[in-house]
Every structure is written in C-alpha cells, then in structure tokens.
C-alpha cells in the first residue's frame, strides 16, 4: 500500500515538471497581456509596478513603445498622473490604451499631436486629453469609453471620425465628453468614394461649450455633435446624449443633396442653450438640425434658436423625418420645417416659444398629430409686418429670418395639421398663407376673435378646429 502511494507521488511530480515550461537562456517568455506605464508624477507604488516610466517630456514615446511591445488583444494601462505628450499615439490592431479614470489620467498636449485609430478593433478608455490635440478614427470596430476631451481650436474636432475612400463602421462612443473645446465636439466627415460612416453609436455622451473661441474659417458653424458633415451615413444611434452651450446647433446633420443619410435615430437626447454666437446670428442654432432619414424619440430642446429644424441646406430638400414625443421649451422657434416633405410629428409639444411654436414653409406632405402649443409669444409673419402669429404656415418668399433665404420659402401643400393650443399670447394662433390642400384640426382656448387666419390659397379646411374662450367668435377670419 505504501509502495503504491509512493509511486503515485512520483508520477504526480513527474507530470508537474513535464507541464512546467522550461525557458532556456535566450528564449523569451510569452508577452504579458497588460503593460503598465507610469507618469513622472505617479505614485511610487505605481512606478514600482510599471514597465515604462515617463519623465514628463515627450511621454507619448514611452506610451507608443509600450503599445508596440504589446501583443494583439492586450492593454497598455496608464496609471494616474499627467503625461506630457508631443506627438501621436497610435495603437495597433486589437490593442487598447486605458487610463485610471477620466479625472485621474491626463494626456496633456502643449504642442500638436493626438490619438489615432488607424487599425481595426482599437479601444481607448478612462482618461482625459487636454491642449492641442484630437482623436481621429479612420478604421472600424473602434471603442471609446469614458474619455473626456478639452482641447483648443487648432484641430477641427475633438472626437473625429474620418471616412476617406473607405467605410468606417461599428464605432461606439460611450460616456465620452467634449467640454470647452475650441471646435467641434464630435464630428463625422469624409471624402472620396466611399465616404461612409456606418453603424455608429453615441451612448450617454456630452458636448458642452464647443466652439466658443473659434477664429478659423469654419469656426462660425461649430456644433456639439456633427453627425454628418461631408460623409454618407447608414445607421447611427444617438442615445441619452446631451448638448449644451455650443456655438451653433447642439446636434447637427448637414443636408446637401449629394449626401446619403439613412437610419439615423435619436433617443432620449437633450439639447440646451445652444446658438451661443447669438440666435439672430445663427443660420441653424438648433437643438437638433436634421435634414433627412432621421427619427427622434423622447428628445428635449430648451432655449435654442430653433428647437427642431428640418432643413436641407442650400437648395436641397429635407425629408423623411419622424418626431415622436419630442418637446421644446423657450426656444425662439419650437419646430421648423423649411423646404421639406414627408415629415411627421406625433405627440410633440412647443412650450413658451419666444416667437413661434411651429413654422412650415415651402413644405408638403407634413403631418402633425396631437401637437401641443402652449404659451407661445407670437412673432411677425413676415419681415416688417405688424401681424403676429404663434404658428406660421407661410406661402411667400418674404421672411423674418435673414438666413431663411428665398429658396427656403414658399407655400405649404397637401398637409394635415392637428394642433392643440392654450395660453398663446398673441391674437392669431395659426396663420395660413397661400396654402393648398391643407387641413387644420384641433382646438384652442383663447379670447381672440380671430385665432385662425387664412390668407389666399385653395382647399384649406379649418372646420375641424374648434375654439373655446370668452369671445365666442368664429374660428376663422379670412385675411383681407
């Protein structure tokens, strides 16, 4: 029995030694999957664990050395501290650069440089970038999470997806912030063929105070999130994101006719206090500027020039947009569709608009269902006119907005508008000019004697719009 046990022990020892790798001199062990880099001001404990220790000068060199030494699938971990960088950091395929937290690890760029994703399946996470830097993504399957950018106006965008003669797909930004940036916070653009950004996601991201100090040529158009600039897009989800205090719009898509825009969806996004260069100085200045192919659900706009603006830009048309349960509060204009068609607003609300809650111009096949109009101040129906209205269905080329050029103004046709108004501060709630085949339904509570005015046009049906109030006047008075 004793001999049997001894033999078993010998066999076990033999197997253990056989399974332990034996590394002869000059034969390297397998690379670790994590390499640690410490900053010059990291703790002594962090430095003791680090494979690379930076000295506070050109720290991007040590970081890049660690990334180059890393096998695919591995991570370079930056400990807490400040890394003074003077060049680009560019991981290879399948590699990750991770900090100790967006407020703990800082990549500081006193000179030009930045982060580059030019290989597939690269991850950046848990750090902050400051100074003369940007993050450029030129390849697919990128993951960026918990990264804050506070950069100057020397680069066009903080988080910049660039599709030049290629498809850049499956990019995810999660819990990322562009704060106090000189230029665009989040920017997509491209050139050549193809120039497609496909299946991109923004989840709980923020763009705050972007573009305030822009002095370069494209500076006046800076937005928080520029989802489409000169790129095509097919598949974008913007979920739970926040834009505040940006120079032009909070969320923006360019609408040039040569751009293909498909399957863009905003959900639970908030856009507040944009148009910081001055509302009357902004062409867009919107909480959300969307030209085509876009759905917005449960979104909120507060105190912008336009809450929601459908505009194709130049001579292009805006079309195929759907708004569901979206609200605007205290913007100059709540919802504006100019030179557009095939748009639907369902259960949307404009509250306390400083000028008008709903503006349609040169538009057709527009449908509003249960549109709430509350506390609207009213504004001139045309430049120089003394007549004001809370809802403007315009039909001439005259405009009160210097940026609403003639190509964006004209009659509204073939539309069904369901509006429910209360607390409107001007006498005319809905003003229809030269409309054709437009049906107005809904109701209003007002003391006005002429809450709905029809000026010209044909086949305008207002019989389904009822009025309750002290005046007891007819719902419609035709304008002279």
pLDDT in tens, 55-93: 999 999 999 999 999 999 999 999 999 999 999 999 999
Find out whether 116 and 97 touch, Cβ atoms under 8 Å: no
Task: Kindly report, residue by residue over 94-150, the tens digit of the pLDDT.
Answer: 999 999 999 999 999 998 899 999 999 999 999 999 999 999 999 999 999 999 999
CB count within 10 Å of CB 9 equals 9
Tell me how far apart the alpha carbons of residues 389 and 244 are, in angstroms, rounded to a whole number: 29
Calculate the dihedral angle through the C-alpha atoms of 11, 13, 17, 18, rounding to the nearest 10 degrees: 10
The answer, yes or no, to whether residue 156 has pLDDT greater than 70, is: yes
Band of the pLDDT at 396, cuts 50, 70, 90?
confident
Domains delineated in the chain: 31-435 (2.160.20.10)
As a whole number of angstroms, the distance between CA 428 and CA 387 comes to 8
% the chain with pLDDT above 90 = 79
Q: Which of 327-331, 348-352, 471-475 has the lowest mean pLDDT?
A: 471-475
Which pLDDT value is given to residue 268? Answer: 99
Please say if the pLDDT value at position 479 is more than 90: no
pTM of the model: 0.91
Strand 349-351 versus strand 356-374 pairing type: parallel
pLDDT tens figures, 83-97: 999 999 999 999 999
By the 10 Å C-beta count (0-12 exposed, 13-18 middle, 19+ buried), 163 is classed as: buried
Largest CA distance in the chain: 118
**pLDDT tops 90 at residue 386:** no
Nearest to 356 by CA among 426, 432, 455, 456: 426
User: 181 or 24: which carries more pLDDT confidence?
Assistant: 181
- The answer to whether residue 477 scores a pLDDT higher than 60 is no
Question: For 244-289, what is each residue's pLDDT tens digit?
Answer: 999 999 999 999 899 999 999 999 999 999 999 899 988 899 999 9
pLDDT at position 21: 35
CB atoms within 10 A of CB 203: 15
| pLDDT for 31 | 53
| Residue given tokens 């063929």 in the structure block | 193
């Amino acid at each position: 029995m004793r001999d049997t046990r001894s033999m078993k022990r010998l066999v076990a020892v033999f197997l253990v030694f056989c399974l332990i790798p034996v590394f002869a001199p000059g034969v390297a062990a397998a690379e670790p999957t994590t390499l640690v880099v410490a900053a010059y001001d990291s703790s002594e404990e962090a430095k003791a664990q680090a494979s690379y220790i930076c000295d506070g000068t050109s720290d991007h060199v040590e970081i890049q050395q660690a990334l180059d030494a890393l096998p695919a699938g591995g991570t370079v971990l930056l400990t807490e501290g400040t890394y003074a960088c003077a060049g680009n950091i560019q991981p290879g395929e399948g590699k990750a650069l991770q900090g100790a937290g967006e407020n703990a690890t800082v990549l500081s760029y006193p000179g030009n440089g930045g982060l580059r994703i030019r290989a597939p399946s690269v991850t950046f996470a848990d750090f902050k970038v400051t100074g003369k830097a940007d993050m450029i993504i030129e390849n697919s399957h990128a993951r960026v999470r918990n990264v804050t950018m506070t950069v100057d106006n020397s680069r066009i965008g903080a988080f910049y997806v660039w599709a030049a003669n290629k498809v850049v797909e499956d990019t995810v930004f999660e819990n990322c912030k562009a704060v106090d940036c000189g230029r665009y916070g989040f920017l997509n653009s491209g050139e050549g063929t193809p120039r497609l950004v496909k299946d991109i996601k923004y989840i709980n991201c923020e763009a705050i105070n972007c573009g305030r100090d822009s002095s370069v040529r494209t500076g006046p158009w800076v937005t928080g999130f520029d989802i489409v600039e000169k790129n095509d897009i097919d598949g974008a989800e913007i979920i739970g994101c926040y834009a505040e205090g940006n120079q032009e719009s909070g969320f923006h898509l360019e609408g040039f006719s040569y751009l293909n825009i498909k399957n863009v969806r905003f959900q639970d996004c908030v856009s507040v206090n944009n148009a910081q260069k001055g509302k009357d100085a902004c062409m867009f200045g919107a909480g959300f500027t969307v030209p085509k192919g876009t759905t917005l659900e449960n979104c909120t706009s507060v105190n912008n020039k336009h809450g929601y603006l459908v505009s194709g830009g130049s001579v292009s048309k805006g079309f195929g947009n759907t708004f569901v349960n979206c609200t605007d509060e205290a913007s100059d204009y709540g919802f504006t569709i100019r030179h557009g068609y095939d748009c639907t607003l369902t259960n949307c609300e404009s509250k306390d608009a400083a000028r008008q809650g709903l503006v349609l111009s040169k538009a057709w096949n527009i449908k509003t269902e249960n549109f709430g109009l509350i506390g609207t101040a009213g504004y001139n129906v045309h430049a120089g006119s003394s007549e004001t209205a809370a809802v403007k269905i315009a039909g001439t080329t005259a405009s009160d907005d210097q940026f609403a050029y003639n190509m964006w103004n004209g009659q509204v046709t073939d539309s069904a508008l369901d509006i429910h108004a209360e607390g409107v501060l001007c006498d005319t709630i809905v003003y229809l000019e030269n409309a054709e085949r437009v049906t107005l339904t809904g109701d209003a509570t007002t003391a006005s004697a002429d809450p709905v005015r029809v000026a010209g046009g044909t086949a305008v049906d207002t019989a389904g719009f009822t009025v309750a109030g002290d005046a007891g006047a007819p719902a419609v008075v035709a304008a002279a």
